[in-house]
Amino acid sequence: MKSRYQLRQLAIASLFASLLLAGCAAGGGSKNSESLAERAQERWDYLAAREPENAWFYLSRGTREMTPQNQYIKETLVKPVRWTGARFLKQECATPQTCKVYMMVDYKIRSRLSGVGVIETSQMVEETWIKESGTWYFLPPE
């Protein structure tokens, strides 16, 4: 039979293990960072592939409610810019639910200057991402 001391130690160890596992399940640790980086990369991959119908699902719930998918598709496809690729650079999280994501985005744009033609370049883009129900979503600027 176990002593009270052993039972207390077992209870404390069980409580600690439960808290540790709960933290992992809530998205703590490196998997949380990888998940955000993966989601940001996937969204840009869809935009570069000219598949805004898939990129729409990465928008925050409120943005999706305000911007129907067909409207988002039209607005995205008529932009004068053509995204050709993107790379995740880093993230900075102010809270566990809100992060800034920095992407290097490659794109082409036709210049309005005579004789210039298409310009191909890259630019760093800062995005805001929020965590809703355990999943990261892009929050466009107002």
pLDDT digits (tens, 9 = 90+) for 6-50: 434 444 434 333 333 333 333 333 344 449 999 999 999 999 999
Quick check: 83 pLDDT over 50? Answer: yes
Domain holding 92: CATH number?
Answer: 3.10.450.100
Tokens found for residue 49: 């592939």
Top-confidence residue, 58 or 16: 58
The total of other beta-carbon atoms located within 10 Å of residue 105's CB is: 19
- 1-5: average pLDDT: 50
Considering the domain boundaries, does residue 14 fall inside one? Answer: no
Residues in the chain: 142
Residues 6+ apart with CB under 8 A from 90: 101, 102
Number of domains the chain is built from = 1
Considering the domain boundaries, does residue 51 fall inside one? Answer: yes
The range of the structural domain enclosing residue 129 comes to 29-139
pLDDT digits (tens, 9 = 90+) for 116-131: 888 999 999 999 999 9
Tokens found for residue 134: 């355990």
What is the rounded average pLDDT for all residues in the chain? Answer: 82
Please report, for residues 6, 42, 45, 55, 76, the alpha-carbon distance to residue 49 in angstroms, rounded to integers and kept in the order given. 60, 10, 6, 10, 12
Considering the domain boundaries, does residue 114 fall inside one? Answer: yes
Q: Find the angle CA(43)-CA(135)-CA(56) to the nearest 5 degrees.
A: 35
Residue 112's pLDDT is: 79
pTM of the model: 0.73
Residue 33's pLDDT is: 47
